[in-house]
Structure 1
Amino acid sequence: MPESDVAVNLVVIDDHPLFRRGVADLIQMSDRLHLSGCASSGAEGVALVRTQKPALVLLDLNMKGMSGIDTLKAIKALDVDSRVVMLTVSDHEDDVTAALRAGADGYLLKDMEPEDILTHLEQAAAGRLTISPRLTELLARALRGLPPLTDALTARERDILRLLATGRSNKLIASQLDIAEATVKVHVKSLLKKLRMRSRVEAAVWAVENIERDSPSGKLKTP
């Protein structure tokens, strides 16, 4: 949940008018989210994010013209701090991993119950990583069997990895560890490289499956 009573601004990018209207109606049910704009294409969406600088972007994956992945990359290249959550019909492993590795902060499926979507969006607005439970299991299976490289991590990196596993954003991790957000970013980049992963979401899912979060050493779970 947001740490303040101020509603978080959200932009929706989706090329289906009926779905945009449905999302708008859904967001009106929350006092923690405020819809500040909608876009019907990737290019229009990037321009809207550039001007609005929303805290949260809800982005479709499969759109005509500029794809969701290309739109995501363009948004991440902007000088904004917007978190981007994919909302799509695709539960294919390739699509999920492509989005997460391109920098998505979450991945939700359109066939979820509306109330569940709203709950996940509020979690994302609070700075949490959010992903459909079914996809968490998919990612866990895909990441299972990776070599236990946590010994290569520093103590601080293990601390951050355990917090990533709880879904915390860099800002929340920095606050909890009483360090600068820029320092957290450096550590995240380093631990991803050591774990041979390209996405913080991948690292979070892998950590949930493999790391004892309550252990001061960040050791691997035992079977």
Structure 2
Amino acid sequence: MSEVIRVMVVDDHAIVRRGLLAYVNTVPLFHMIGEAADGEHAIALLKEWHALGQPLPHVVLMDLQMPGMGGIEATGVITRTFPDVKVVVLTSFGEVERVQAALAADAAGYLLKDADPDEVAMAIRAAVTGGMHLNPTIARQLTRRMTAPRVGLTSLTDREREILALLAQGKSNQDIANQLVISERTVRTHVSNVLAKLQLSSRTQAALLAIREGLVTPPS
């Protein structure tokens, strides 16, 4: 794009803000218009600028770990309140759970603080044009997570959850088959799948997990 890209940085470390300000202002058509030390301050500034009719940033570079309102919560508030403002996470934390939480809050990119300056510029430009840039290592982690076999309660089908609940009630395979009007062989297959997905080795373990997770009421 040919117009100036307005950038804001949110980070609780002043030296990081100074460094990003110095870098951004050296990139042609990039201009740093503001900074904040936490999420609450960032949102307050955006609301103030909006009320005064001042231009808002095209992109906010957002740290995650900050005192007070952290980066994920702030990202969600900003993207809901100011849909035209894009948020690119720039943080030291690369855990998949944090990445997924940031993306769920509509972050338009996720970078680690050891990123090259060119990568930061690339992520900012991608966000402005409606794209998304992910740190390559993080992108690989997300791909592995998405393609890995699902495990845990959320991986169970409705039928498997039903059978797990019946297991926790002490029902035998034949009892379950009679109640669900399916063959005992089908029940055995479902039970085997449940144990595999829950990474358990016995019906007793499965029953205890079902009780612990509230799928059934424990016997009195």
Q: Are the counterparts in 2 of residues 11 and 49 from structure 1 also a CA contact under 8 Å?
A: no
2: CA distance, partners of 1:49 / 1:108:
22
2:10 aligns with 13
1:121: which partner in 2? 124
| Offset, 1:74 | 1.3
Q: Which amino acid aligns with 2:99?
A: V
- The equivalent position to 1:78 in structure 2, one of 81, 91, 97, is 81
CA apart distance, 1:109: 0.6
1:9-48 matches, within 5 Å, as 9-48=6-45
In structure 2, C-alpha distance between the alignment counterparts of 1:119 and 1:64, rounded to whole Å = 28
Q: Percent identity?
A: 33
CA contact (8 A) 1:33 1:122 kept: no
* Equivalent pair of 1:32/1:122 in contact (CA under 8 Å): no
Give the ranges of 4+ consecutive aligned residues of structure 1 lying more than 4 Å apart after TM superposition: none
Does the residue aligned with 2:81 lie in a helix, a strand or coil?
A: coil
Aligned length: 144
Deviation for aligned residue 1:108: 0.6
TM-score, normalised relative to structure 1: 0.60
Q: Taking structure 1 as reference, are residues 144 and 6 closer, same or farther at Cα in structure 2, changes over 3 Å only?
A: same
Change (3 A) 1:31 1:16: same
**Aligned with residue 69 of structure 1, among 68, 72, 77:** 72
User: Is the radius of gyration larger for structure 1 or structure 2?
Assistant: 2
1:26, 1:118 within 8 Å by CA — same for their partners in 2? no
In structure 1, what residue type is equivalent to 2:46?
Answer: V
Q: Which one scores higher on RCO, CA 8 angstroms, separation ≥ 6?
A: 1
Distance in 1 separating the partners of 2:103 and 2:68? 21
| Superposition TM-score, scaled by structure 2 size | 0.61
2:106 is the alignment partner of 1:109 = no
Match runs of 1:190-205 below 5 Å: none
Q: Which residue in 1 is equivalent to 2:201?
A: none
CA RMSD of aligned residues (A): 1.8
Matched, 1:139 2:136: no
1:57 to 56, 60, 69: 60
Q: Which runs of 5 or more structure 2 residues have no equivalent in the other structure?
A: 50-54, 151-220
Instruction: Kindly state the Cα deviation for residue 40 of structure 1 after the two structures are TM-superposed.
Output: 1.1
Q: Letter of the aligned partner of 1:111 in structure 2?
A: D
